[in-house]
Amino acid sequence: MGKSDEQVIEEFQKYVNMTPEELEEWLETDESKRSGWTGNDGGGGESVGHDSGRKIVKILRSDSQNPSEDELAHMRKVCAYCARHLAQESKMKESKDEDELTETKAYRSLKNWGHDMLKA
């Protein structure tokens, strides 16, 4: 059995450590817009992570304790993405200084998903 809605909400609030304003400001940057996967065709459209970031801003601005089914589904996706990528990148934070870290694809990608590794 999967996680309960309450568990997903709690995890989402743990992983998404940026305010809606911080995330919105980040999403306007060129670094954000250039980060992430844009689909199988590699087209120039919006990356999956950038689209996710816009959805996260909406969730953060809504009643995240009582999310819609669509919001809850996206919260699950965010939790899975952050858990997977943070596990893969756990050593990176120990081996790089802040300047080096902010230049990595992983840092920029996670930030599109609402998680700032420098805050964690």
Q: What are the pLDDT digits (tens) for 83-115?
A: 999 988 877 877 888 888 888 889 999 999 999
- For 5-104, where are the alpha helices, taking DSSP H only? 5-15, 20-27, 30-34, 48-61, 69-88, 92-95, 98-102
Please state, in angstroms and rounded to a whole number, the distance separating the CA atoms of residues 25 and 76.
24
* pLDDT band of 28, cuts 50, 70, 90: very high
Quick one: angle between helices 20-27 and 105-112, nearest 10?
120
Stretch 12-38: mean pLDDT, rounded?
91
* pLDDT band of 42, cuts 50, 70, 90: low
- Per-residue confidence (pLDDT) for residue 83, from 0 to 100: 95
pTM of the model: 0.88
